[in-house]
């Protein structure tokens, strides 16, 4: 069974490993370097606090891998179980928190509802006054995406995956309805080569719509630029505090090492949907970084006039209209696994398993992926996730 995985980010690598485990003959092509796209620009969050059941199920299935990654892959990914702390400013958001926690706990997550005062016990330096409720899960945390890429890539090669970097897919070919071939071309090659396939896996993230268009499929996945700032807070952020999210403003921060913090935020006035994934600005906007730090300063003591913005970067989210991925066999022979809307890193292990199940078995019992079919957008059967960090 010849399977071509297109995309060498964390989702593509997870799919390649899972496929190799199931006995597929796997080639993975990446037009750049492994993990150099959206994965390398991720904040590395891993959480099970989501507002929809399918996202929680993806998280819990993925945590089975993240929690044992070093044992499975031989690489320490720097997993830090600091927890995630969500904060609500309004009663409407607080009511959603209550519903979320009930749902998450029913599915097996360790989430709990907190008062603002209780939230400050997990995040000293947090101002409780602006908030009316909070949620916390001690099993949430963050890891190093680049180390995770390294672990997946090493194991993929050990299991026989042919990884070709600096190599792009230039076209797909069909016989009848089925995808049966791909043209692939290395950057230093004069011409492309035809590759016979049983399945192509579209794991290209923000580039997924381009691959879909090769077979006449319109995938509703758009690149969306997101930014992160690295700052020296005053006072230093303790390394033990959770990734903290003020959900109603879209602001978040988390500790790095030695008192440094990552600060981010999804602010409408800086949210430009019209990004060319091959030509977007990978740098950080100074005005955005100032807004991100000023917003965080409104509810914590860590960010003030003496806070120094050291550096930052921008990456691309692959966003669908309802902020959930598309995971399906879009046409016979073409499996789409993209559009995670900022959650691709943390959901990659589960996504990779689902892809292997679809290719080998034609179905999966990990979760109900009919919910993640691209047809939901045509039928108006969407559901919304508030997408932050």
pLDDT digits (tens, 9 = 90+) for 288-346: 999 999 999 999 999 988 999 999 999 999 999 999 999 999 999 999 999 999 999 99
CB 181 within 8 A of CB 196: yes
Q: Which two tokens stand for residue 211?
A: 């691959």
Same domain, 113 and 242: yes
Q: Enumerate the H helices of the chain as residue ranges.
A: 10-21, 53-66, 69-73, 91-106, 116-122, 145-158, 208-213, 286-297, 344-361, 376-379
* pLDDT given at position 385: 80
Terminal-residue alpha carbon distance, the chain: 37
Residue 107 covered by a domain: yes
* pLDDT score of 386 more than 70: no
Q: Is residue 385 part of a domain?
A: no
Mean pLDDT throughout 74-78?
Answer: 96
Over residues 163-190, the pLDDT tens digits come to 999 999 999 999 999 999 999 999 989 8
Asked if 284 and 267 sit in the same domain, the reply is yes
In a domain, 29, yes or no: yes
What's the mean per-residue pLDDT of the chain? 94
User: CA nearest 147: which of 10, 341, 348, 318?
Assistant: 10
pLDDT at 269: 46
301, 238 in Cβ contact below 8 A? no
Of all residues in the chain, the percent with pLDDT exceeding 70 is 97
pLDDT tens by residue, 340-377: 999 999 999 999 999 999 999 999 999 999 999 999 99
Q: Would you call the peptide bond into 76 cis, given omega within 30 degrees of 0 as the criterion? A: no
Domain of 213 in residue numbering reads as 2-46+146-221+322-379
156: CATH = 3.50.50.60
Identify whether the C-beta of residue 60 lies closer than 8 Å to the C-beta of residue 48.
Answer: yes
Q: Does residue 188 belong to any structural domain of this protein?
A: yes
Residue with tokens 């950080």: 284
169 and 202 share a domain? Answer: yes
Res 38 pLDDT > 80: yes
Residue 273 has pLDDT above 70, yes or no: no
Q: Describe the crossing of helices 53-66 and 91-106 by its angle, rounded to 10 degrees.
A: 60
DSSP string, 313-331: EEEEEEE-TTS--EEEEEE
CA 279 to each of CA 185, 216, 316: distance values in angstroms, whole numbers, following the listed order: 20, 24, 11
Measured from the Cβ of residue 258, the count of other Cβ atoms closer than 10 Å reads 9
Overall average pLDDT of the 118-143 stretch: 97
Indicate whether 308 and 353 sit together in one domain.
no
Pull the structure tokens for residue 166: 């600096």
| CB of 78 closer than 8 Å to CB of 151 | no
Whole-model pTM?
Answer: 0.95
Task: For residue 58, give both structure tokens.
Answer: 């993806």
pLDDT the model gives residue 268: 53
Do 157 and 214 fall into the same domain? Answer: yes
Residue 387 pLDDT more than 80?
Answer: no
Q: Rounded mean pLDDT of 119-143?
A: 97
Task: State yes or no: pLDDT of 136 exceeds 80.
Answer: yes
């Amino acid at each position: 069974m010849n399977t071509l995985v297109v995309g060498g980010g964390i989702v593509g690598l997870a799919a390649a490993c899972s496929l190799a485990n199931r006995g597929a003959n796997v080639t993975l092509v990446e037009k750049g370097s492994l993990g150099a796209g959206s994965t390398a620009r991720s904040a590395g969050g891993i959480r099970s606090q989501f507002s929809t059941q399918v996202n929680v199920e993806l998280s819990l299935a993925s945590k089975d891998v993240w929690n044992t990654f070093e044992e499975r892959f031989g690489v320490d990914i720097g997993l830090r179980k600091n927890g995630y702390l969500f904060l609500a400013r309004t009663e409407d958001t607080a009511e959603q928190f209550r519903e979320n926690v009930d749902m998450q706990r029913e599915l097996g997550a360790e989430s709990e509802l907190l008062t603002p005062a209780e939230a400050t016990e997990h995040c000293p330096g947090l101002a409780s006054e602006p908030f009316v409720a909070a949620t916390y899960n001690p099993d949430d945390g963050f890891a190093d995406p680049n180390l995770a890429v390294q672990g997946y890539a090493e194991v993929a090669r050990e299991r026989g995956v042919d990884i070709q970097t600096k190599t792009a897919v230039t076209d797909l070919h069909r016989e009848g309805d089925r995808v049966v071939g791909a043209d692939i071309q290395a950057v230093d090659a004069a011409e492309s080569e035809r590759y016979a396939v049983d399945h192509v896996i579209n794991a290209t993230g923000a580039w997924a719509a381009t691959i879909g268009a090769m077979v006449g499929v319109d995938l509703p996945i758009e690149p969306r630029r997101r930014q992160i700032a690295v700052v020296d807070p005053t006072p230093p952020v303790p390394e033990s505090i959770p990734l903290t999210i003020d959900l109603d403003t879209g602001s978040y921060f988390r500790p790095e090492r030695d008192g440094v913090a990552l600060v981010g935020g999804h602010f409408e006035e800086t949210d430009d949907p019209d990004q060319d994934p091959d030509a977007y600005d990978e740098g950080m906007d100074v005005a955005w970084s100032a807004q991100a730090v000023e917003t965080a300063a409104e509810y914590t003591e860590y960010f003030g006039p003496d806070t120094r913005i050291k550096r930052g970067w921008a990456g691309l989210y692959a966003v669908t209209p309802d902020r959930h991925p598309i995971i399906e066999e879009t046409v016979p022979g073409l499996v789409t696994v993209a559009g995670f809307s900022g959650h691709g890193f943390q959901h990659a292990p589960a996504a990779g398993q689902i892809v292997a199940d679809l290719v080998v078995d034609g179905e999966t019992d990990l979760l109900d992926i009919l919910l993640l079919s691209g047809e939901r957008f045509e039928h108006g059967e969407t559901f919304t996730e508030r997408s932050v960090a």
